[in-house]
Structure 1
Amino acid sequence: MGDSQHSEVSVRETGYDTDAVITIPNLLSALRLAGVPLFLALILRHADVAAIVLLAIASATDWLDGKLARGLHQISRLGQMLDPVADRLYIAATVVGLTVRGIIPWWFLVVLLTRDIMMLCLVPALKTRGYTSLPVHFVGKAATFCLLYALPLVLLGAGPWGWAPAARIVGWAFALWGAFLYWWAGALYVHQTRLLLASAPSLNGSQARSRLH
């Protein structure tokens, strides 16, 4: 079997359409990632409306790159890694910015970042089985959805508008629920990792690198 045929079979077996790095969906994901530092800068400069507009654009590209990946048959390993990374970075940027501005308390920042640190601690264990990440659970998606829409409402709730108190209440309701789901998803990922470690054989260095690629 030729190299190209072997590559096609390998891609199909992993559930991805392509191994290509430069695809339209991946470029959109890269643009979304590039917007994170600008988004944080806007929050820190109190340019709240501009920050929320940028977040809305980022959310739109998140939806668009997924739709294009499926429609153009360009689902890739890189794309499925970039999407959750971008979501977490936008959440982290929002939480850090709002914490620095005193809009949300430090304990909320600690709650979310501690969960992310816990997830990072799972990576070395996953690599022993040839994985770098776990499939995104629907609870994790729900948590991300809640936080991405709650935190802008909390930000708007700090404004001078007459409807700001309502935005703050709704925002905090979703933020607290999102934080709970964030940790629930984290517990599920820990459980999945334990099952994987118990069921999958440990790989040596060359086998792990082969699985990762």
Structure 2
Amino acid sequence: MPEQDAAREQAAKDGAPDRILTIPNVLSVLRLLGVPLFLYLLLVTESDGWAFALLIISGATDWLDGKIARMLDQSSRLGAMLDPLVDRLYVVTTLIGFVIRGIIPWWVAALLIGRDVVLTLTLIVYRRRGLPPPEVIYLGKAATFALMSALPWLLAGEMDWSIAAFASAVGAAFLVWGTVLYVWTGILYVGKAVAVARAIPVSTGAVGGRA
């Protein structure tokens, strides 16, 4: 997802209006306020049903704010930076919360978060050469979809209802496939960055400012 964040940031710099009070930005702020609430429901009160509902609502509003931004022409620089930031906070806090609750192994969270940290660092290679971020790999989108699907299913498996076992199995399947694809695409992105670093010299103008 760092590659998608960088693409959105680049698009914002390339001409998105500098607007603050828009419907998509309001939705992003509401999602941001939901992060500590989600952790409270998950870890303090262990209200898994409410935490599950909040996770679903967050995913729905994430999709909705993008649709609204395009339909109403309300894209903005703030939104291009805020939306992926909130996405990242939800993913990281959910993974950490799941580890604390024992829903997923700690090493799975470490792999997923570590992959994003590494890819964020590889973006320096492109910036120092005055290049745009790498194109998003389609397989990476599939990996992200699998992981985003796994989280609510896994939480649903912790709830006291008739489909808990089914939900856990579905969530585990999405988690396994998503993790494998996520790590694999991370390796591909790192390979691209290494190739760029070897083939293209650092831009003189980028050394002082954009790096």
1:200 CA drift (Å)? 5.6
TM (norm. structure 1) is 0.77
Q: Which amino acid aligns with 1:88?
A: R
Change (3 A) 1:73 1:136: farther
Answer yes or no: is the 8 Å Cα contact 1:87–1:144 preserved in 2. no
The residue correspondences of 1:58-207 to structure 2 (distance < 5 A) are: 58-130=58-130, 134-197=134-197, 202-204=202-204
With 159-168 and 72-81 compared, the bigger mean Cα shift is at: 72-81
* Structure 2 partner of 1:6: none
1:36 aligns with 2:35: yes
SS in 1 for 2:36: helix
Change (3 A) 1:72 1:191: farther
Change (3 A) 1:184 1:27: farther
Answer yes or no: is the 8 Å Cα contact 2:12–2:77 preserved in 1. no
Q: Which amino acid aligns with 2:65?
A: D
1:14 CA drift (Å)? 6.4
SS in 2 for 1:161: coil
Q: Which amino acid aligns with 1:167?
A: A
Answer yes or no: is the 8 Å Cα contact 1:91–1:147 preserved in 2. no
1:147 CA drift (Å)? 1.4
Cα shift readout 1:134-161 (whole Å, capped 9, x = no counterpart): 5543333222221122122112212332
Change (3 A) 1:13 1:108: closer
Cα shift readout 1:94-147 (whole Å, capped 9, x = no counterpart): 111111111221221222122122123223323313468555433332222211
TM (norm. structure 2) is 0.78
Alpha-carbon distance in 1 for matches of 2:77, 2:195? 22
Alpha-carbon distance in 1 for matches of 2:145, 2:21? 27
Q: Percent identity?
A: 46
Q: Which amino acid aligns with 1:34?
A: L
With 22-31 and 165-174 compared, the bigger mean Cα shift is at: 22-31
Answer yes or no: is the 8 Å Cα contact 1:147–1:179 preserved in 2. yes
Change (3 A) 1:96 1:81: same
* Structure 2 partner of 1:7: none
Alpha-carbon distance in 1 for matches of 2:208, 2:33? 30
Gap regions ≥5 residues in structure 1: 1-10
Answer 1 or 2: higher relative contact order, Cα 8 Å, separation at least 6.
2
Alpha-carbon distance in 2 for matches of 1:12, 1:91? 23
Answer yes or no: is the 8 Å Cα contact 1:147–1:178 preserved in 2. yes
1:195 CA drift (Å)? 4.8
1:12 CA drift (Å)? 9.1
1:19 CA drift (Å)? 3.6
User: Which is higher, the Rg of structure 1 or of structure 2?
Assistant: 1
Alpha-carbon distance in 2 for matches of 1:73, 1:197? 37
Aligned residues: 200
Change (3 A) 1:50 1:133: farther
Alpha-carbon distance in 1 for matches of 2:124, 2:135? 16
Alpha-carbon distance in 2 for matches of 1:159, 1:66? 31
1:178 CA drift (Å)? 1.0
